[in-house]
Amino acid sequence: MKKVIFLVVFFISLFFTGCEEVVDVDLETAAPKLVIEAAINWRKGTSGAQQTIKLTTTTGYFEDGIPIVSGAVVYIKNSTNQQFDFAEVPNSGRYVCNNFKPVIDENYTLTVISNGNTYTASETLKSVAPITHIEQNDSGTIAGIVVRAFYNDPAEIDNYYLYRYVYSNKITSTYYADKDEFYQGNEFFSVSDDEDLKAGDEVEITHYGISKQYYNYMNILVSISGSNIGGPFQTPPATVRGNIINVTDKSNYPLGYFSLSEIVSRKYTVK
């Protein structure tokens, strides 16, 4: 009996070993596209003078690292034609401005010139309501511990929001967009979605005031990628067109979005 069992096990292992085969997947790689990360965020209580824009390109699925774009000309102009130049930190793909002047409801135009192409986008800087208080609810709900950040939505103005939740017990951040259609002029809140929160975990909550166009963009991006994404510029499973156009060659459009937001952040430790 022992000999029979040994022979059966031997032939089974031989069969599975013989079925092993290395398969090389030949994926088509599209031409690299410029990715423009141009989120101008003005944190309440600061001057907002220092801002950063990052330029990279898309790359192959199996490639290590993300290629940076150096040597570009990057600047933003306001409605009075005042220009704010962004200088590259050498060989980093990061372009920094130290004298930007944020003004609520001001219109700004971004220009990026790179590799013979000129890219432009226009957007308006939107305000955000302060976070008034944070509440925790863990009274036996199915979702576990829930954290809510409250604010008073301004009356008689259509407001759009982006909420970002960063958890100390997770690698990815949570984003979701909202509009005040059903609570205009009233108190409202953003809410966490981490079902594994426990006492001692830290939650960083950020509210962004955003335009209607950026709200629509983020809704599409989150619906494709899910709310647990690395950020609005992480590559989604499908292409999402932003508001930046290539005026030199419209068919060679970039990825990314030019946004301007007043933001407010609070940190909360779960009890």
For 219-271, how does the pLDDT look when each residue is reduced to its tens digit (9 = 90+)?
Answer: 988 888 765 555 544 444 457 889 999 999 999 999 999 999 999 999 999 99
For residues 74 and 231, which has the higher predicted lDDT (pLDDT)? 74
88 within a domain of the structure (yes/no):
yes
To the nearest 10°, report the CA torsion of 47, 259, 248, 33. Answer: 110
Residue 216, helix vs strand vs coil: helix
Three-state SS at 221: helix
DSSP state of 212: H
The answer as to whether 121 is a domain residue is yes
Summarised one tens digit per residue, pLDDT across range 191-220 is: 999 989 999 999 999 999 999 999 999 998
Tell me whether residue 135 is in a domain.
no
Q: Is 218 a domain residue?
A: no
Q: How far, in Å, CA of 74 to CA of 101, rounded?
A: 16
pLDDT tens digits for 143-200? 689 999 999 999 989 999 999 999 999 988 899 999 999 999 999 999 999 989 999 9
Determine, yes or no, domain membership for 51.
Answer: yes
What's residue 14's pLDDT? 47
**pLDDT in the model for residue 238:** 54
> Using one digit for the tens of pLDDT, what is the confidence trace for 76-130?
999 999 999 999 999 999 999 999 999 999 999 999 999 999 999 999 999 999 9
Best CA proximity match to 191, nearest among 220, 150, 155, 232: 150
The model's pTM: 0.84
Query: Does residue 133 surpass a pLDDT of 70?
Result: yes
Kindly state whether residue 257 falls inside one of the protein's structural domains: yes
Helix and strand tally (H, E) in the chain? 2, 16
Question: Which token pair is 117?
Answer: 């192409």
Report the Cα 92 to chain-centroid distance in Å: 20
Q: Which domain holds residue 112?
A: 34-127+232-263
For the domain that residue 106 is a member of, what is the CATH number? 2.60.40
| Count of the separate structural domains present in the chain | 1
Assigned domain for 138 exists = no
Q: Does 92 reside within a domain?
A: yes
Q: What residues does 228 pair with on adjacent strands?
A: 174
